[in-house]
Structure 1
Amino acid sequence: MDDTIALAGLPMSLRWEALPTGWSPEPLRIEAGPGTDLFVDPAGDATYLNAPRLLGTPPEGDFQLAATVSVDFAETFDAGVLLLWADEQHWAKLCFELSPQGEPMVVTVVTRGPSDDANAFLVDGDKVRLRISRIGTAFAFHASVPPASGSGAARWSFVRYFDLGASAVRIGFEAQSPTGKGSAATFEDIRFVPERLSDLRDGS
């Protein structure tokens, strides 16, 4: 049986790496069960690799993958994620996540063995646009908050630039609820552009 999934806006098919408790394709909505996460504690205390994730292999060369993400926030660390995945030791996630203070924020985790976790900025709203870019052998994360009505076009904020330490990657979407009873993330206006990002920090 063919278990591949095609999503509008993407040039490749995707497959579930870990199954969700439920999902729908248009718009893409992923439901995560309780205690789901992707994280390798750098202190060596715990490893979690059970978050539901939908992944596919992008075409060769530079690209940009973007989506507008919203989350049914209920508990700390509930999140919707754009994900880079090579293997269980090499992956990175760009998250729209609920902080311990109950505030939505952009968070990144880059894992090369242990995870390197970093907060980016708070989001005053219920949606954020996230983007992953491949630039040669490196990757970049950006985020954009929708502007207030009549205030002009949104601009991208630089979040992170890194080498994953792996050449063959899959990309896609993840939802998680590490401390909660479950959550769901919705990914809208998914766009894939097979072009090199022109500038890391100019906001375009």
Structure 2
Amino acid sequence: MFHKIAALFALIFISSVTRASDSLRLKSIPHPLSWNAQPADLHIRSASSFTMKAAKGTDLYCFVDGSYYVHQVPMLLFKPDSAFIFSAKLKPQFRKFYDGSAILLYTDSSSWAKLLLEKMEDGSVAIGSSIVRNRVTDDNYHRTIPGNEVYLKAVRAGKVYCFYYSTDGKTWNLLRTFSLENPENLRIGFYAQSPKGEGLTVDVSDLRYTAAPFKNFFTGE
């Protein structure tokens, strides 16, 4: 009974702090999280899961030649340790093409890295990644997946960053490696987008964070 009461108290506490100016505390993350902008909706479901909604017309994107740039999404971010393993299960409630949600590594409004689960124009659901430097992107479209949910992971060890995905949260597959500029300004977390639709709700669950470098390059564990 004590554990149930404690869990309920923690849930009430973190659920009450949802405004853009406030910080959020989740038990699974040892650092405070903060919003860059108010989400359309937010619901904390447990110490390691929440649901957020991005409004209509939200997007975080720039074209490969730098000719197009948009930075209009709700981002929930925190400042990580110098080495980390960060993962979660993302389940967007897709409606329109380009609806999506991502794990985000963010240094400033011109430079970031994202691992995105996105609905494509043909109706498929794909994992893609972008490394953006000075508003110029290096995009990769990695693979399509069945269904509308996947586990995504970002890790850092020294100057090396890696992205991974998993269908079960246990067997991880390496997608790409990269470096980031200005890592001293790095914050990490999540965002959601709906550039062509009326909004997107995404369930984030099984949230995990370890302040340590990975030992296995190919699994990020």
TM-score computed with the length of structure 2 as normaliser:
0.84
1:156 to 157, 167, 172: 172
2:160 to 127, 138, 153: 138
1:177 to 186, 194, 199: 194
1:99 to 106, 109, 120: 120
Q: Does 1:80 align with 2:101?
A: yes
Kept in 1, the 8 Å contact 2:65–2:137? The answer is no
**Residue aligning to 1:111:** 132
Kept in 2, the 8 Å contact 1:69–1:128? The answer is yes
3-state secondary structure, aligned to 2:42:
strand
Higher relative contact order (CA 8 A, sep 6+): 1
Aligned length: 197
Higher mean C-alpha deviation, range 43-52 or range 66-75: 43-52
Amino acid at match of 2:44: P
RMSD: 1.7
3-state secondary structure, aligned to 2:162:
strand
Q: Does 1:42 align with 2:64?
A: yes
**Residue aligning to 1:28:** 50
- What is the CA-CA distance between 1:17 and the residue it aligns to? 0.9
Task: Pick the structure with greater CA Rg.
Answer: 2
- What is the CA-CA distance between 1:46 and the residue it aligns to? 2.1
Structure 1 unaligned segments of length 5 or more: list them. 147-152
3-state secondary structure, aligned to 2:23:
coil
- What is the CA-CA distance between 1:44 and the residue it aligns to? 3.3
Q: Percent identity?
A: 29
Q: Structure 1 residues 44 and 34, CA, compared in 2 at 3 Å: closer, same or farther? A: same
**Residue aligning to 1:122:** 144
**Residue aligning to 1:195:** 212
TM-score computed with the length of structure 1 as normaliser:
0.90
- What is the CA-CA distance between 1:102 and the residue it aligns to? 0.8
- What is the CA-CA distance between 1:25 and the residue it aligns to? 1.7
Structure 2: distance between partners of 1:128 and 1:86: 25
**Residue aligning to 2:88:** 67
1:11 to 15, 21, 30: 30
Structure 2 unaligned segments of length 5 or more: list them. 1-18
Q: Structure 1 residues 170 and 196, CA, compared in 2 at 3 Å: closer, same or farther? A: same
**Greater helix fraction, Structure 1 or Structure 2:** 2
